[in-house]
Structure 1
């Protein structure tokens, strides 16, 4: 079982020819609401990739909260750890342009009420084979969950997004960090992914830097280095590619796959996700990933 301690948002997605500049108004050609949030996205990605998944987080007592819970459950995610709190659920305003690029504004809502893991959360974390974390919950809560995972001997996989300064206590508890190229540069101040990888490995045991169309770069303190190319596909919407990658990577690692194979599995899942619109709605099922690899 994989535990995901993280955010659940309703994504409010506007599709445009090009994103507006500051002070500019553009006309969109479509709008939709899609269940998302980095935590919920990773939970759905891991469930569709073949794992049993428990989601630990919060939604509001509004209509979005009801929809988010139902969407996670429909994807096969265990939502007994998804608490309901008074007030609005988290939302994300997303603008997607015709090249598949996106810009996002997140309003935390119920996610901001999560001050730390509950006793039930701690039990779920201790019984898992991996713990996935992101930074859309308050930092003290993320640190507490990471420390609980480390204390229980559970591999802790952190997606450091949105990028922000990382407390030493968090990095000390993390097994693997998975930033994209821009997040890795912001965290380390290093120029180029190889230098950023070296800097990350000074603080954590393993690191994967996702490079978009250039694939992914992996390193460990044991000295292993891998670079896995991305599949060549025409992106329609890249919104959830990173979360799809992490969810699939966690599944592959929990199954005991060698790192090279785990990275190929995750890269294939991410490539499939950009072929469809939306966040959780774009994530591939295990059979699709295996067929793509074959």
Structure 2
């Protein structure tokens, strides 16, 4: 019998592998997964700059990545020597961006690792340099740090209002020039009169009154049933628009308003019941202006 040479045997083996669908060819160092329609694993995520030292117990990590999801995991060593194992978090990528707000349970040093996962759950590469941060409540404040929601990482801790950043830094509900810390507007001598239960004002003319941003003026006015109340506020509209509002004796029902876009506001009201009515002089949230107030009560 004639023997087959080694070349013939090799060719026969290749033919068998190529024709047999049950046989899988090895990669041989080539990325054959591309030919089967499977994408390669995503690269390591790109992480925005983070501080190495923070005084806040919320640590925000944001950046961009390829793939479908990003997972972050972390461990920490607190200042008492204890180990802090943090729960991993997973975020689905939106337009290739991710953001994590991580709670640091105790002062200490924390290390975080991130990986991206592909559409077919291919596990991506980890960060070459894991993120490390030290949490120390006594560290200097970092006022420019923002959480994923865009608010200050410091919350209200030790903060005072910053007067030109359009944010409520001290969390008192007042922003920038509306906050008393930032006001350059001086209250008039009739303050405090910031609510409907303000002190009564007798009929007369009152000069050099002042509206400050976000701070309307209220005046109590005693009127008997059947009497006519005449009110005028004199001011220059171009320097800040002011309006008038009259509340009933219950302090909540609005009886009338004067809200023109001209200099001065005025109204006349005939009382139906005897009692203390509340007059409100106000502007927009940012309005400041001086005015003269005239009150006249006449009997019919």
TM-score, structure 2 length as denominator?
0.19
Q: Higher strand share goes to which structure?
A: 2
Higher relative contact order (CA 8 A, sep 6+): 1
Bigger Rg, structure 1 or 2: 2
Q: As a proportion of its length, which structure holds more helix?
A: 1
